[in-house]
A = this chain, B = another copy of it.
Amino acid sequence: MALHFSEQELAGRRAAACAAMQEQRLDGLLITRQESMFYLTGYDTFGYVYFQCLYLGADGDCFLLTRAPDLRQAKHTSTIAEVHVWKDVEGAEPHRELRDLLHQRGLAGKHLGVEYESYGLTAASGKKLDAALDGFVTLSDASTLVSRLRLIKSSAELGYVRKAGELGDHALAEAHRLARPGADEGEILAAMQAAVFAGGGDYPGNEFIIGSGDDALLCRYKSGRRVLDDVDQLNLEFAGAYRHYHAALFRTVPIGKADPLHIEYHKAAQDALLACEDALTPGHTAGDVFDAHAKVLDAAGLADHRMNACGYSLGTTFAPNWMDWPMLYHGNPVEMRPGMVFFIHIIIFNSDAGIAQCLGRTSIVTETGAESLSTAGLELFLGE
């Protein structure tokens, strides 16, 4: 049994979810987001690539419907006592099996919430779910019910978050060790990801972003590694991940020689990052944090080279995405609270000049301000 939280803490989370259901007059919740399942029960799998559903009643009743390969997975990783299995055969109808299970519990006519915003419930699967439950129960979208509870981390969770921060710094140290003219991006990625795994960490929710030359102006992973030129730029967005908690970092490393724009943009990026971290305090909103970023960059004449968002919450997200709810963009009313965790990323891309300069790190919101999860310096590092 690989349970990473006390049974008491997991029970407390389920009780909070049940209370939220009662507030929203829901009799139960059909849970399809893997991060919700992990949060409420410990259940840890990528079995959500096929249809599975965790039912949690407002009364605390709980069962899982999944495929055979996840029966043992649920028993080894979670507190879920009741697991039902649907079988792969031509014409399998697992959504109808879910209906039958709900029916056996006397839930006909009840009002259930559904996590429709979920990689674990594709649009095709959602249609089958709606069809199977049509006329049997009333369904409402409750995609953020558990995500809102996940937003503020407990003391045990913050312990894992800090460990993720350490692993992120280990990956950064590997990047600094290897980033130089003639280095192979593939070797750098191998060493960075290995630092996380060797430290007991996990795969990140999405791939590390690694790009150089013109491709340094990308902020997604893509296939195809290259060897760094004598004068080059290497863009790295990555995360330590521990117990699926993420602590992301962002750096652009000039190779061989820094362009004057790298130096100018780095100063602006550092100023913007620190301004955002100043706003990571109770009394500010997610929108305020974004505005702090925009104010600094716009004053530096970089309005055309910045993004429409400057970060997001981090937590126990599963593939394909480590970006958690909510995002930091203009007007977002979510208020900062102690125990929240935000990744601030300052992205400056000048397409005409072909220059990238990005800087980012992750912090815990505390009563008195931002606690950075990284102990690495923010100064411009030159790979030479």
Contacts and interface: CB of A to CB of B under 8 A. Distances in A.
A76 B125 contact: no
A323 interface: yes
Interface string A130-172: 0000000000010100000000000000000000000000000
Interface stretch (A19-27, A324-332, A367-375): A324-332
A12 to B, nearest CB: 20
A323 B69 CA distance: 13
B198 A190 contact: yes
Nearest to A129: B123
Contact of A127 (B116, B190, B202): B116
Nearest to A327: B88
B318 A320 contact: yes
Q: Which of A190, A207, A332, A333 has the most CB of B within 10 A?
A: A190
A280 to B, nearest CB: 19
Contacts of A73: 218-220, 222
A222 B44 contact: yes
Contacts of A309: 88
A241 B172 CA distance: 24
Contacts of A221: 45-46, 203
In this complex, the interface size class of chain A, counting residues with CB under 8 Å from chain B, is 35 or more
Copy total for this chain: 2
A320 B217 CA distance: 25
Contact of A126 (B72, B88, B123): B123
B72 A320 contact: no
B46 A220 contact: yes
A355 interface: no
A121 B219 CA distance: 21
Interface in A288-307: 307
Interface string A104-128: 0000000000101111011111110
Given A117-B123, A123-B127, 8 more contacts: A45-B221, A49-B119, A72-B217, A72-B218, A76-B218, A89-B308, A191-B194, A193-B194
